[in-house]
Amino acid sequence: MKGLISIASDIPEIRIAGGPDWADSLRYDIIATTPASPDQTFVSKDDKQRIRGLLAERFKLITHIEKRDGSIYVLVIAKRGMRLSPPTTDSRSGLTTGRDRVEGHMTGVNAALSMLEDFLTQELERPVQDQTGLKGRYDFKMKWSRSDDSSAQSEYPSIFVALREQLGLNLIPKKRPIDFIVIDHLERPSEN
């Protein structure tokens, strides 16, 4: 349940508090067809709004946002300069990712940095704020190791090193007030 709330709100499950015990373990599938959106990375903003409506209607979800001190990353241009390329095509923008337990890869085509920011927030389970000042669209590729386990060997560096070496961007850890969702009310839905 908290997974759906996370998808609808762009706040990771680890920053969702309260609610009944079953909200941590029960999972629900939503089967729906929606139109594709330009600049869609994962779930579109319109789809997130639809999910929020469904949660309020079917689950009687009531929440509020609470600011708490937390850890974030700030995305900045590395000292050696950015290594993003201008788009080579006017094709539809997108960010394609793939990952397994050991490695991850990402390809951006005509992509805005907001798409990278959204991806990094999900991958790192921590808010990422773009402070590069870059407003354009770019093509880029990146490969990194996802594993902290030394027995799971990867030929690629950590995501932090990959960002710096392959894209010319740095993630700087900071402490800032960040949003947490607090569940005030949640009910199990009735059958369809």
Q: Would residue 191 count as lying in a domain?
A: no
Q: Would residue 36 count as lying in a domain?
A: yes
Indicate the pTM of the whole model.
Answer: 0.72
Q: Would residue 13 count as lying in a domain?
A: yes
pLDDT computed for residue 37 by the predictor = 57
Domain interval for residue 98: 2-185
Which segments in the chain show pLDDT lower than 50? none
Q: Would residue 174 count as lying in a domain?
A: yes
pLDDT computed for residue 153 by the predictor = 67
Report the C-alpha gap between 181 and 175 in whole angstroms.
18
Q: Would residue 57 count as lying in a domain?
A: yes
Domain count, the chain: 1
pLDDT computed for residue 155 by the predictor = 84
Q: In what order do the strands lie in the sheet with 62-77?
A: 16-18, 169-185, 62-77, 128-130
Q: Would residue 192 count as lying in a domain?
A: no
pLDDT computed for residue 11 by the predictor = 86
Q: Would residue 136 count as lying in a domain?
A: yes
pLDDT computed for residue 13 by the predictor = 85
